[in-house]
Amino acid sequence: MSVIEEQAPGKLYIAGEYAVIEPGNTAILVAVDRFLRVRLTASEEVGSLTSSQYGRLPVRWRRSGDHKLVLEREENPFDYVLSAIAVTEQYAREQGRELAFYHLDIDSQLDDSSGRKYGLGSSGAVTVATIKALARFYALALSPLMLFKLAALAQVDIQPNGSCGDLAASAYGGWIAYTCFDREWARRERATHTVTDMLSRDWPHLDVRRLSAPSDLHLVIGWTGAPASTPALVAMVQARKSDSATHYDDFLSNAKRCMKAMVAAFEAGDTKCIQAEIRVYRRLLHSLGKSADTRIETPELDLLCAEAEHYGGAAKTSGAGGGDCGIAIFNADNDVSALLDAWTRNGILPLSLKVHNEKRHAA
């Protein structure tokens, strides 16, 4: 068999962070043109996993009597990959495919050359790219929705606080409005249903809608140079949400109104309205972080946003905050060169990222 190569794009949150953790809440995300790539080569009797992120020494694996992968090392950095393999191969077996051996080589553009993370969703991208490669290997036809559901099944047990929005962005590409499904339902139903059944069922609250950005919208991205831990930040907010002082229910209701207005603005092609709602959501995140005693917007991100606003954009953190990236929405007529110079002078790295649109179509 010839070598199979697949890739999945990184992502950025535009708005909806923290609220989208709760089922039924929506976030807007965009897939960007930096990728995590997987190369699959068929083998016999033994397989291996290799990643540029963890050195090039392979972690070899064999199969146990029940077809599960057994690694030759006790410790490994491949939890997301292994979970993606397990779910996809269970589906392959349900579809009558015979399991085989292969080498997987993983290469990521989602970090810089020194390994620092940009916050572009490497765990989601590696999950999606691994499933895409295995789907081709086992001749499994997957729509973007099926690809997302397989990736979500692979990820819910590893990252229980995650919304899976990164998976949706990597699976669909482009701009999307993603509404989080009921993860407890998925875990519960997964225990008593086949993967095939789970792919064919409607998942409570789940909705992934493609969006078209207005023609005059210009997305500008800056990186603060400080990596952040999304699971840790989300866990901190989740731990405080029952505290009345956090006003968490108010945050959710205001976030829903904001996201509904922002999705409508995308559908109407209204960049000015999108900018207004970006500013609203920034204020909501600021209030949430303050009430939950969690630093979502760091001084560096505050500076990033202030400079963008000064030059005519609407800006906010992207993702959980605490570092990583900020995004700014401009009208395409704006000259952002002065902003990029100001960011650079202040230690903020402009990222030359473009929107990546998947060629495959949703079923």
- In SS3 terms, 100-121 reads as CEEEEEEEECCECCCCCECCCC
Mean of pLDDT over the chain = 90
Q: Which CATH architecture group holds 4-211?
A: 2-Layer Sandwich (3.30)
Average pLDDT over residues 20-37: 97
pLDDT tens digit sequence for 12-22: 999 999 999 99
Residue 75 has pLDDT above 60, yes or no: no
Q: Is residue 161 classed exposed, middle or buried when 0-12, 13-18 and 19+ CB atoms within 10 A define those classes? A: middle
Domain boundaries, the chain: 4-211, 217-351
More confident residue, 101 or 233: 101
Cα distances (Å, whole numbers) of residue 102 to 47, 64, 85, 91 = 5, 15, 11, 17
pLDDT value of position 226:
75
Kindly indicate the confidence band of residue 36, based on its pLDDT and cuts at 50, 70 and 90: very high
**Cα separation of 152 and 318, whole Å?**
21
pLDDT value of position 60:
81
Give percent above pLDDT 90 in the chain: 72
Residue 115 has pLDDT above 70, yes or no: no
Taking alpha carbons only, the member of 145, 201, 189 closest to residue 361 is: 145
CB under 8 Å to 99, separation ≥6 — which residues? 63, 67, 89, 92, 93
Q: Which CATH class is domain 217-351?
A: alpha beta
Average pLDDT over residues 54-83: 74
Residue 242 has pLDDT above 80, yes or no: no
More confident residue, 207 or 227: 207
Kindly indicate the confidence band of residue 361, based on its pLDDT and cuts at 50, 70 and 90: very low
Q: CA-based diameter of the chain, in Å? A: 63
Kindly indicate the confidence band of residue 362, based on its pLDDT and cuts at 50, 70 and 90: very low
Residue 247 has pLDDT above 90, yes or no: no
